[in-house]
Amino acid sequence: MPATLLPALPVAHAMLGMPELLVILAIVVILFGATKLPQLGKGIGEALGNFKKAQRETERDSLRHEVDATPRVDTQPRETRLEKDASKG
């Protein structure tokens, strides 16, 4: 059965409301326990901070090593491979 027969859901259906977020929070508390949540939050925050720091460094390095892609304009015509071979032998 082709997947195109399934109706497309509007974006509003994919968004989470307050009741859904509360259920997810309750499940997280049950799984990890209330004492582990601050450690979990700290770990996630540090991971996001490291990710953003690495992203900034990558952007800064890419700007520093930017390559000039402007085509050169030669005033003299270039020799072709055949002309070079002919002049050698």
Distance CA 45, CA 48 (A): 5
Summarize pLDDT for 1-15 with one digit per residue, the tens.
455 555 555 555 668
Place of tokens 């499940």: 27
Distance CA 59, CA 51 (A): 12
> What's the count of helices (H) and strands (E) in the chain, helices before strands?
4, 0
The model's pTM is 0.43
Summarize pLDDT for 35-72 with one digit per residue, the tens.
888 898 899 999 999 999 999 998 888 777 766 777 77
